[in-house]
Amino acid sequence: MTALARARAARYVRLYPRAWRERYGEELQAILETDGLALRTRVDLLRGAVDAHLHPSTPSPLPVVAALSASAFAVAHAIALAAQPVPTDWPGYLDAALPLIIASVLALIPVVIGVWLKLGDADGGFGRIGVILAIVGYGAWLVALMAAATRLAYGPLTAAAATVAMAGTAALGVALVGRSRVVLGGLFGAAALAGVAPPALGWLAFAAAWTGVAVVLVADFVGASAARGGPHLA
């Protein structure tokens, strides 16, 4: 391996947390110097670095807190729309409630990333396609909603971005079911269907599905913490 290739390998190793590098860094560096940096290897290294930061030796509360926040904002948004005397016009948003759905969509981005990391190396095609579509879709949806909050037109763009996000969410659901996470995968599928359903019932179902996801992630977090000697919330 050339000096340039060794330097590139070292840069990937430095993406990992300090505690991880102290334990595994030399071993990983040696493997990369032997096997090289193929495209799949680079993708796996990036995912592993994110996973190491989000799931250190003690469980990280970030995806759990994000899921709880997303579900709370989604519930508040659904209640705000349900309280209106007449249904909202397409695409089903209320100007006064936009900050609530903006906050929910923002919080969902770390949720889908954290859940994708649960799939590990066996994420499969559905998992990889799903997380890409979800991140792109939720990001575009967030931008469109923020534009709407500043009084810019948002109908078709917002609907298209939300549809991409729901497609990614559904693909992640399929991948989760394939890894025997049937309940969590089913909730992802329900959230995806609710996200493209008519607003009158869609927002309530969307909020309910993400609340279910939050409950499952809390249970996972508590179980993982207990297995390591007790929960660590800080």
Convert the pLDDT of each residue in 166-211 to its tens digit: 999 999 999 999 999 999 999 999 999 999 998 878 999 999 999 9
- Beta carbons of 67 and 111 less than 8 angstroms apart: yes
Please give the mean pLDDT across all residues of the chain.
86
For the ranges 81-90, 130-139, 221-230, the maximum mean pLDDT occurs at 130-139
Cis peptide before 85 (omega within 30 of 0): no
Give, in order, the Cα–Cα distances in Å from 221 to each of 28, 58, 61: 28, 10, 7
Answer with the residue of higher pLDDT: 125 or 217: 217
pLDDT of residue 160: 92
Task: Write out pLDDT tens, residues 129-141.
Answer: 999 999 999 999 9
* Dihedral (CA of 18, 20, 26, 29) sign: negative
- Beta carbons of 175 and 129 less than 8 angstroms apart: no
Helix or strand holding residue 89 (H, E): none
Instruction: Report the candidate in 65, 69, 2, 72 with the shortest Cα–Cα distance to residue 37.
Output: 2
Answer with the residue of higher pLDDT: 204 or 37: 204
Task: Point out the least confidently predicted range of 16-20, 84-88, 107-111.
Answer: 84-88
Answer with the residue of higher pLDDT: 117 or 153: 117
pLDDT of residue 167: 97
pLDDT of residue 23: 84
Task: Point out the least confidently predicted range of 58-67, 74-83, 114-123.
Answer: 114-123
- Beta carbons of 115 and 70 less than 8 angstroms apart: no
pLDDT band at 91 (very low <50, low <70, confident <90, very high): low
pLDDT of residue 121: 65
- Please give the average per-residue pLDDT across 58-80, as a whole number: 91
- Please give the average per-residue pLDDT across 37-63, as a whole number: 79
Look up residue 33 and give its DSSP letter. H
Locate the domains of the chain by residue range. Answer: 3-54, 62-227
| Whether the predicted pLDDT of 66 surpasses 50 | yes
Give, in order, the Cα–Cα distances in Å from 14 to each of 30, 192, 199: 14, 36, 46
pLDDT of residue 48: 85
Q: Residue 82 in 3-state DSSP?
A: helix
